[in-house]
Structure 1
Amino acid sequence: MKSTAAFLFASTILLSSPAFAEAPNVVVSIKPIHSLVASIMQGVGEPSLVVEGAASPHTYNMKPSNAAALQAAKVVFWVGPGLEIFLEKPLEALGGDAKVVELSEAPGLEKLKFREGGAFEPHDDGDEDGEESHEHSAEDASHEGHDADAHGAAAETAEHDHEHGEGEFDMHVWLNPMNAKAMAAEIEKTLAEADPANAAAYSANLQKLNERLDALDKTLAETVAPIKDKPFVVFHDAYQYFEHRYNVRVAGSITVSPEVLPGAERLSEIHAKIEDLGATCVFAEPQFEPKLVNVVIEGTSAKSGTLDPEAATLEGGPDLYFQLMENIGASLKDCLSSAS
């Protein structure tokens, strides 16, 4: 009798639960984007991740398991060439069944041009939306390129130009929650088209995600408000989108790209910039050699901290994106608040 009652109870639970069709195989390149896709797929399925653990897309080498996952994928999300360079040829080799979505081309996405690295010129915060800051940064990038050649950094600039052709954009687009909303809309649209049986679930999840992103945006603005006028230096120039959204003052970067080691002249330039600015902070990244940060702050009153723009230290999943962004805001506030 008891077993019959238990069976009827279990059957009732199953019948009352929403039934989802089997989700398509979805593969995502990097953790921050994977988090957005996982948020939209919650309750339906789980996307696969290519760059796992503490690996960086700048230096990643494909594994056989990654190639197998790509071959089985119905949908692949990546940021695009210029970031996940290692994915370009494998994606070209995929069969016609897979839908490959380059999220750096999502409608409504804010895109900023590359800067050449080194010491950036002071920028005008401009109006509340930061438009003047955006335009000035792009102009500074052009001047920095000419200055770098003039001061003997031609080799590093040439390497930069090889990786990022003229007119291309900084690909760290996820470091602005409004860009995350633009990408999430494209993710939801793509999944609904590929899997119409679960379209209602994707739509409902997108609405929840947008509400969380709006709340995150407000929280980050409040977090960095007390320190937004204090300049700091980063390991590589990955933070333009955060800088532009919240008007924080990135004064320079140690290197253009993590795979390009800076020369002695670049390190000397950054060291001089730190001294000119007075006490500030220089931020390392967990995947890359921290000794360079120690070199540029030696003999100055600058402090060191760590920023993790690619979520190397975080566990994947729907909450990762929010942890990533909150950690950046908290790290900036903690280090810069203690700088005199």
Structure 2
Amino acid sequence: MPLLRPLFLAAALSLLVPTVQARDSGSASAVVASIKPIHSLVAGVMEGVGEPALIVEGAGSPHTYRMKPSEAEALQSADIVFWAGAYLETFLVKPLATLGAQAKSVELVDAPGVDKLSLREGGPFEADAHEDESASEAAHEDEQFDTHVWLDPVNAKAMVGAIETALTSADPAHAEIYAANADKLEARLDGLIAEVEADLAGVRGRPFIVFHDAYQYFERRFAIPAAGSITVSPETPPGARRVAALQAKVKAVGATCVFAEPQFEPALVDVIIEGTDAKAGVLDPEGAALKDGPELYFELIGNLAASLKDCLSSEN
């Protein structure tokens, strides 16, 4: 039964989109994932068959990412590309539109069973100033939803199902492995939900503010809502008037904690909480500080819970 078409890349590109050797075959295939949480789920389904390549590595953010020419060229050699979606990863819209006829693009925000939430803007939640709004609007003019869908493990289970379906369609020879891996992942995700619910039981109801409004899927799943966001452009430090307004917001909601993110300057949060009773913490919605691979997703969700618990339960 056929595997995905062979991948032949120049040596300069071999590290970016590695050749994937099937376990029982000399054939090669190319599977690419956009960001770390997506890559982790794909890697889990592919375990024992091969490893997907990752586009946005390290602490890169899909909101501000700009593809290098070598990355764009390598992407054209992919057989399957798994990504969150056009509204989040605007940098991929044009490159994916030019993929070869035999290549498949899988937009996981549209996976069957994924529950999408509307954006929260106005009041205590401010628009994501670091997003390329014009590009986002052009990509998905009518789809004004929160794209951080992976932060609900129930959505992650739905994405695992879509990943299994796509891989099995392209590589039916390994259908049983993909199915077994998907079943294992879904069971682990159920266990993860139970663990996080227990971890957060003692800190629910304590107000906190996030750097940007990326967490409502996690908040809703685990009944721990944020009181607002402090989004400012990471390229432009806020002036004194802006800092004063953000400090007033922290005081107005009685925030116990204000959370930074690894991709952005943490010193900004220290300035904002100065003169308030709030403490500073860090939330990492994309696994920027984590090692790529099938365990990353579980570490990401577990770390969010641990960061919230540690900061919200500490004495002021």
Shorter-chain TM-score above 0.5? yes
Bigger radius of gyration, 1 or 2? 1
Amino acid at match of 1:291: A
Of 185, 190, 197, 2:173 maps to 197
Deviation at 1:176, TM superposition (A): 0.6
Cα deviation, 1:259-303, whole Å, max 9, x if unaligned, reads 787676664443223212335100001111223212321110100
In structure 1, C-alpha distance between the alignment counterparts of 2:183 and 2:232, rounded to whole Å:
36
Does 1:246 find its partner at 2:222?
yes
Matched residue count: 290
- For the 8 Å contact 2:208–2:258, the answer to whether it is kept is yes
- Aligned partner of 2:9 in structure 1 is none
SS in 1 for 2:49: coil
Cα deviation, 1:227-274, whole Å, max 9, x if unaligned, reads 111110111111010011111120111117767876766644432232
CA RMSD between the two structures: 2.5
Greater helix share, 1 or 2? Answer: 1
The range that moved more, 289-298 or 309-318, is 289-298
Q: Residues 22 and 118 of structure 1: is their aligned pair in 2 closer, same or farther, counting only changes over 3 Å?
A: farther
- For the 8 Å contact 1:280–1:339, the answer to whether it is kept is no
SS in 1 for 2:226: strand
Deviation at 1:317, TM superposition (A): 0.3
- Aligned partner of 1:34 in structure 2 is 39
Amino acid at match of 1:234: V
- Aligned partner of 2:296 in structure 1 is 320
Does 1:60 find its partner at 2:65?
yes
SS in 1 for 2:288: coil
Does 1:116 find its partner at 2:121?
yes
Structure 2 unaligned residues grouped into runs of 5+: 1-22
Amino acid at match of 2:297: Y
In structure 2, C-alpha distance between the alignment counterparts of 1:168 and 1:263, rounded to whole Å:
30
SS in 2 for 1:77: strand
In structure 1, C-alpha distance between the alignment counterparts of 2:248 and 2:227, rounded to whole Å:
12
- For the 8 Å contact 1:285–1:306, the answer to whether it is kept is yes
- For the 8 Å contact 2:285–2:304, the answer to whether it is kept is yes
In structure 2, C-alpha distance between the alignment counterparts of 1:250 and 1:171, rounded to whole Å:
17
Cα deviation, 1:80-112, whole Å, max 9, x if unaligned, reads 112111111111111111100100000110101
Q: Residues 210 and 64 of structure 1: is their aligned pair in 2 closer, same or farther, counting only changes over 3 Å?
A: same
In structure 1, C-alpha distance between the alignment counterparts of 2:214 and 2:306, rounded to whole Å:
17
SS in 2 for 1:27: strand
- Aligned partner of 1:97 in structure 2 is 102
Does 1:181 find its partner at 2:157?
yes
Residue identity (%):
59
Amino acid at match of 1:94: L
Using the size of structure 2 for normalisation, the TM-score is 0.84
In structure 2, C-alpha distance between the alignment counterparts of 1:110 and 1:269, rounded to whole Å:
34
Q: Residues 118 and 297 of structure 1: is their aligned pair in 2 closer, same or farther, counting only changes over 3 Å?
A: farther
In structure 2, C-alpha distance between the alignment counterparts of 1:180 and 1:337, rounded to whole Å:
28
- Aligned partner of 1:50 in structure 2 is 55
Does 1:287 find its partner at 2:263?
yes
After superposition, residues 1-340 of structure 1 pair within 5 angstroms as: 19=24, 22=27, 24-116=29-121, 119-120=124-125, 163-164=136-137, 165=141, 167-255=143-231, 267-340=243-316
The range that moved more, 56-65 or 294-303, is 56-65
In structure 2, C-alpha distance between the alignment counterparts of 1:294 and 1:178, rounded to whole Å:
34
- For the 8 Å contact 2:64–2:132, the answer to whether it is kept is no
In structure 1, C-alpha distance between the alignment counterparts of 2:279 and 2:201, rounded to whole Å:
20
- Aligned partner of 1:127 in structure 2 is none
In structure 1, C-alpha distance between the alignment counterparts of 2:153 and 2:44, rounded to whole Å:
14
SS in 1 for 2:58: coil
Amino acid at match of 1:199: A
- For the 8 Å contact 2:206–2:256, the answer to whether it is kept is yes
In structure 2, C-alpha distance between the alignment counterparts of 1:335 and 1:166, rounded to whole Å:
37
- For the 8 Å contact 2:207–2:226, the answer to whether it is kept is yes
In structure 2, C-alpha distance between the alignment counterparts of 1:266 and 1:161, rounded to whole Å:
24
Amino acid at match of 1:293: V
Structure 1 unaligned residues grouped into runs of 5+: 1-17, 121-143, 146-155
- For the 8 Å contact 1:237–1:257, the answer to whether it is kept is no
- For the 8 Å contact 2:227–2:255, the answer to whether it is kept is no
Q: Residues 259 and 188 of structure 1: is their aligned pair in 2 closer, same or farther, counting only changes over 3 Å?
A: farther
In structure 1, C-alpha distance between the alignment counterparts of 2:292 and 2:178, rounded to whole Å:
19
- For the 8 Å contact 1:302–1:339, the answer to whether it is kept is no
In structure 1, C-alpha distance between the alignment counterparts of 2:132 and 2:34, rounded to whole Å:
24
Using the size of structure 1 for normalisation, the TM-score is 0.79
Cα deviation, 1:40-71, whole Å, max 9, x if unaligned, reads 00000000000011111111111233223311
In structure 1, C-alpha distance between the alignment counterparts of 2:89 and 2:111, rounded to whole Å:
17
In structure 1, C-alpha distance between the alignment counterparts of 2:220 and 2:237, rounded to whole Å:
26
